[in-house]
Structure 1
Amino acid sequence: MPARSRFDLILAEVRVRAAAGDRTGAVRIALAGTTHAGADGIEQFTVYRAQLKYLAALQGGDAALLAPELAADAAACESELVALIADAVSALAASDPTTLARIGERFEQRGLRLEAMDAATAAARLLREDGQAARAARLETRALRLARQCGVEMPRSPTGRLRLSRREQEVAALAAEGRANAEIAQRLTLSVRTVESHLYQAFGKLGCERREDLAAALSPTPDRPETFSEF
């Protein structure tokens, strides 16, 4: 089997295990894959190994151990991707969500959407652990957008509340049109208090602070239409 195809299969299996909640299995497969991802000194194989180490660190592998390995890999080759991955894993090792989010932006600027999605998700997790829910919600919204653009399912957020319910979406969409809470309540046959509650939940999930921000946050990407949970 060609090296690229073999690597893609390993990478896919790691992501499938992670999506299924088997983080231990994902780390094990990723790290095992680094031992036969190709010959040393060939840049493409260095890139393969770096991507696997990145996924291992994201799924709970020892980032403090992987960071110096990746720094050495980055110094030994000219790949910008390996350098970005090394910086991302160093930020993970340091539990630095701000740096990790910025690296995610650099991934996205270079068209590396999966890597950017992973960085945004990890940064959001660190922010939530630090009690910074509003910043985390904004990064979760970014990660969800990137996931749609890649055509993949977004991993659930640490709170399990990344997607809007259908009712939250209906209320938020009407609010985005400029309708007042009382008008929304009458249209949907709800109490004003219930409308306010749905809006509060939608703001938190979308990372919005004002009604004026809702339209942009609710807009689907061209790559994939908006989807919402059933509950």
Structure 2
Amino acid sequence: MTQSTVRYETQDDFATEPVRGLPELLPKGERMLWQGAPAWKPLAASAYHARIAALYFGVLLVWRLASGIVHGEAATSILASLLVFTGLAAACVLLLVGLGYLAARTTVYTITSRRLVMRIGIALPMTLNLPFKVIASAAARINRDGTADIPLTLAPPNRLAFLILWPHCRPWSLRRPEPMLRAVPDGARVAEILSTALKAYALGEIAKASPAPAAQAPASSPQPVDVVAA
């Protein structure tokens, strides 16, 4: 598993991973620090907006009921239209919830001592290899339920396509897509693990470049995770 640049590769659905979430064994000296996946309920709510869709359809149902009563429609007519609309609304919401569930089940995030690896994709699984040397900075948004969204800013000229990343990217980061660990359970601990790993990597790179204690990190060195509470 090389670590020089950002790369992604598709995976055969029937291929056997030597380590869960990783297409290859880690190089000698590299350690796995954490591995996990998104929590499916927060993912369905935040990425697929299942909760907003449910509220939207609920408002439409109330409006349809009130409209029928105001216009004096027959109770059977109102009930029939409500039943049809409820069925369609339920199907749409369940589709969004199902997508969130499948996305969470097929995703594996891995933090090692030298990189972040994201195995993503429902229909077409792929693995994103993000060495720490290409991560310019990271942030963490801790949500009320304890999950976290951790977006990563890539150092130029490294770029990834928004459509390849979605929903594992910062919302609306179309011009410069940012990979993101989304709806990660126990988010504060995961953010701390990533922050510690980035610091250790940066210090190691400084030590390689210059053994002097006063040496400063180069501009491209990864920065600690900036944590923000939702």
Does the TM-score normalized on the shorter chain lie above 0.5?
no
Structure with greater contact order relative to length (CA < 8 Å, sep ≥ 6) = 2
Q: Which has the higher strand share?
A: 2
TM-score, normalised to structure 2's length? 0.24
Q: Which has the higher helix share?
A: 1
TM-score, normalised to structure 1's length? 0.24
Greater C-alpha radius of gyration: 2
